[in-house]
Structure 1
Amino acid sequence: DSNESSPESVHAQIADFMRQYNIEDDDELWLVIDRDRWHERMLSQVAQLCAQNPHLNFCMSNPCFELWLLLHLEDVREYDEVTSNELTMNRKNKAGVTWLKKRMRDLLGSYSESSYDAVRLLPEVPKAMSIARELDITPADRWPQNIGSRVYLLMESITGNNLKNQ
């Protein structure tokens, strides 16, 4: 399963970057990954490596990054049980498109990982952050065990807006 986008490879790339560039005390680097197909042991090792480095932060979306985007458009906490299960499983349809990618296409009109209307999502960032924080019922865990995205932590760092302190 290992390839250039595996958590291990991404961590190695970040470590190389940190060696090549002069990382200042207040610099932050973020490892943003999907839960999807990565083995628990691999994720645990990478999360541990990040925890040992004061400049490196680890945030995961479970099952994948599209969940973070979806939170800008819908409150998944309001889904009925069937829809919630579809989101959790995030299976591919006959065309090979995951449930979340299809949902994003339905809501935005078109969606691909490399091309979507990010400008439309921007005004909804605070809402997505708030929902993601509320979904994060196990913040002490290294990543969300259930549906969730820790991208809100990255956004709090960028915006200086820590919802926990409000």
Structure 2
Amino acid sequence: MVAKRRSFPRPSAQRRYRKLFVLAVEGTVTEPQYFQMFNSEVSIIQVKCLKGGHKSGPFHVLKRMKKYLDDVELRKTDEAWLVVDKDEWSDSQLNELYQWSASTGQYGLALSNPKFEYWLLLHYEQGKGVSSSRSCTERLNRYIKNYDKGIEGKLPTLEQVKNAVERAKLRDTPPCKDWPRESGQSTVYKLVEAILQSDE
């Protein structure tokens, strides 16, 4: 005789958070580690990173985001952002990302010139005189010893994050319409500011 299985009511799949930020990023380590710090048990927002893997160019970042959005429908309060470096990508490559980001108020493009590490540098200093990826990494190593594509255990404080937002704003004057063309600028502050304001 087979015993009857007891059935328990299954809890509804209700999200604990009010707003979701979906980020398609180029990197597989630093960017996910950085944005993960905005998630917590008490947070009313959730940040989800779609990691880059070996295919990290602008086309692949956008493709990864589109694939995710084909499977998951955003709520009206949610946002989807592309987070990329200027690196050696051409204007035409980046323009495709910008056109996608401008197609709806729920999308955004956050670009650091020359790379994401410049955004990290702004947590510690004004970031003046950064002319290349190499100089950016060398400067960042002054503050994060042995920085090597990872900041686990070395995450900035909330005060440092807010300082980075203000420093990036000062360097983005007047605010660029699409992405920063000059080295030593980052529009990641727009994304981080949106996250911080949503979690208040």
Fold-level match, TM-score > 0.5? yes
Secondary structure of the residue aligned to 2:131 is: helix
Secondary structure of the residue aligned to 1:74 is: coil
Moved over 4 A (4+): none
Secondary structure of the residue aligned to 1:157 is: helix
Identity of aligned residues (%): 28
Bigger share in helix: 1
Query: Equivalent residue for 2:58?
Result: 7
Query: Equivalent residue for 2:187?
Result: 150
TM-score, length of structure 1 as denominator length: 0.79
1:106-158 CA-to-partner distances (Å, cap 9, x unmatched) read 32212122345443454311111000001002424201122211111111111
Structure 2 unpaired stretches of 5+: 1-53
Instruction: Give the CA deviation at 1:59.
Output: 1.0
* Conserved? CA contact 2:172–2:185, under 8 Å: yes
**Largest Rg, 1 or 2:** 2
Query: Equivalent residue for 2:144?
Result: 108
Q: How does 1:40-79 map to 2 (within 5 A)?
A: 40-77=91-128
Structure 1 unpaired stretches of 5+: 78-83, 91-97, 162-166
* 2:82 corresponds to 1:31: yes
Query: Equivalent residue for 1:81?
Result: none
Secondary structure of the residue aligned to 1:58 is: strand
Question: How far, CA to CA, are the matches of 2:163 and 2:59 in structure 1?
Answer: 32
TM-score, length of structure 2 as denominator length: 0.66
Aligned residues: 144
* Conserved? CA contact 1:7–1:42, under 8 Å: yes
TM-aligned CA distance change 1:140 to 1:102, over 3 Å: closer
Give 1:119's match in structure 2, choosing from 131, 141, 155: 155
Secondary structure of the residue aligned to 1:159 is: helix
